Amino acid sequence: MSELRAWHRLRRETAIEPELPIVDAHHHLWHRPPERYQLDELLADLNSGHAVRATCFVECGAMYRADGPEVLRPVGETEYVNGMAAASASGTYGDVRVGAAISGYADLRLEGVRGVLQAHVMAGGSRFRGIRQQAQHDPVLGSLARRQVGAGLLADPAFRRGFAELRPLGLVFEVIVFFTQQQEVTDLARAFPDT
């Protein structure tokens, strides 16, 4: 990370509108030795002259539970970020509210995924807002998602059964796809217009 920090220092820019309130809509936190990006690194980036008021944490596979049922392990990430968010909300680190919103991961194809979603809600409280799915797939390149997915994930009947559990829990959905998959996203949105 020291090389990255050095590179950032060479490219520091002055804030154009330092008083403009900002919500950082996508960031990660992790500790994968020797690399780390924790609350102190994030705050150093946020305190660069901009008026960042809050942030939204987006799942990145960090701090999954080491034990317990495999399906519940991603809930560890929500617990971890919610702890960071609680520390930030104390005001000890300034006015910014890190992790004011959290999106996590659950395999929506699983039978009983509602229990996993409820565990996320319990772990994140009002900060937990929804699920993020990496679904990038290309016929030539294959799956480039961290979790290997096959073609047609968003149309998979098991996935859609799990997707149907989001709205009753007040959760949103975020997806990463290639531009060539826009029709798949459109079809999913049309099938679930209220989610």
Q: What is the pLDDT of residues 45-95, one digit of tens each?
A: 898 889 999 999 999 999 999 999 999 999 999 999 999 999 999 999 999
pTM of the prediction? 0.90
pLDDT for 85-107, tens place per residue? 999 999 999 999 999 999 999 99
Q: Could you tell me the CA-to-CA distances from 51 to 97, 102, 138 in Å, in that order?
A: 12, 20, 39
| CATH fold group of domain 2-7+16-191 | TIM Barrel (3.20.20)
For the chain, give every domain's residue range.
2-7+16-191
Give per-residue pLDDT as tens, 109-138.
999 999 999 999 999 999 999 999 999 887
158 CB burial (10 A radius; 0-12, 13-18, 19+)? middle
Tell how strand 51-58 and strand 97-104 pair up: parallel
